[in-house]
Structure 1
Amino acid sequence: MSDDVGDGTGKVVVNRAMSLDGFIAGPGHAMGWIGEYLTPDVVPEVMEATGAMLVGRGTYEVARGMTAQETAYEGGAQFVLTHEPPAEPDPGVVFLTCDIEEAVATARSAAGGKNLEILGADVAAQCLRRGLVDEILVYVLPVLLGDGVRFTPPTLDRIDLEPFSNTQSGAVTMLRFRVPK
């Protein structure tokens, strides 16, 4: 899977775990169900290719409330795009208050030639609207949630994607798409 390993070009990749019915988080933004299926050993090549992560404040707050097992996915330097940084700094996180283009450029630079993973519905939608995304990586998990946070907000316009890979690892189906520029 040569597309998975960082080759020094550093792609911007929207990375999502999704229930079969299209939710990236359950009711109340619950995400603990993801850790039941998606563990670091399921996709080691993705973790290896990741040099930094950019998330929104909401995703950061949800992750802070999760156990270490539920948040086993780590991917280098962590950046949080927010309007209000927390009063108490988090030593493992850089909080950014700039626009989305500057946030992506900052995090991408820190990725050191590896991929920048975009996590969180709002930040991903902003990146997609601005044409900043190279790929979308989706882990389809065998669960129906019935309600929660959708894969994309209803305000995101149509974007045609180019599928280039699908693989199965245990119960997880991984789909990869290029985002045409």
Structure 2
Amino acid sequence: MTGTVIWHMTMSLDGFIGDRDDSVDWMSAADGGPSRLGAEVIATCGAFLCGGKRVEAVGENRPYGGAWQGPILIYTRKDPATNPIPEFTYVSGDIRDVVAQGLEAAAGKNLVVTGGAVPRLAVEAGLVDEVVLHIIPVLLGEGVRFYDSPGVHPTKLKLLTAENLNYRFEVLK
């Protein structure tokens, strides 16, 4: 069984995943634990893949506030042997190979991709199956965009579920 590649992200109402300093402190406005959809993503996640910039923003903290345990892969352009956090696996190379490594690490469960560059590259390579998006009712005005990729062809999505500012979309290929 091969898992699904899910782009799981929280963003501000105006479309940012990080504020002007790339901080995610504003996400604390979403107190109360994960939504039903978020809990489902956590329960079905076998491995987690993000970029080094996301790790710099959240540090050594495990995804989902520690509610999930499993392999964490960090996609980097630096030498993977210089991994600053030994508990994480640093990977580099073509995004197709990196996602394949993530799916292998997920051992039949889903691979969650998150951040800015990693999901963008995975979407553009046709590797993302679903987008799960949580919207926090805050307006940041500027920062790191949820999806910023000028010049690419539009990616069409089909709404699967919508519940209290939590959305699941299928990526149409």
1:21 to 11, 14, 31: 14
Say whether residues 1:128 and 2:123 are aligned partners: yes
**Residue type of the partner of 2:77?**
H
Shift of 1:86: 7.0
RMSD value, Cα = 2.3
Partner of 2:75: 81
Q: Percent identical across equivalent pairs?
A: 32
Structure 1 residues 68 and 81: CA distance shift in structure 2, 3 A = closer
Between Structure 1 and Structure 2, the one with more helix by share is: 2
Partner of 1:93: 88
Q: Does the 8 Å CA contact 1:35/1:70 hold for their aligned counterparts?
A: no
After superposition, where does 1:84-163 map in structure 2 within 5 Å? 84=78, 85=80, 87=82, 89-155=84-150, 156-163=152-159
TM-score when normalising by structure 2: 0.87
Q: Deviations over 1:83-129 (max 9, x none)?
A: 11373542320000221011000011111111101111111110011
Partner of 2:167: 175
Q: Distance in 2 between matches of 1:35 and 1:53?
A: 21
Say whether residues 1:11 and 2:4 are aligned partners: yes
Shift of 1:58: 0.8
Say whether residues 1:32 and 2:38 are aligned partners: no
Number of residues paired by the alignment? Answer: 169
Give unmatched runs, 5+ long, in structure 2: none
Give unmatched runs, 5+ long, in structure 1: 1-7
Say whether residues 1:49 and 2:44 are aligned partners: yes
The ranges of structure 1 where at least 4 consecutive aligned residues each deviate by more than 6 angstroms after the TM superposition are 67-70
Q: Distance in 2 between matches of 1:100 and 1:144?
A: 32
Q: Does the 8 Å CA contact 2:120/2:149 hold for their aligned counterparts?
A: no
**Residue type of the partner of 1:175?**
Y
TM-score when normalising by structure 1: 0.84
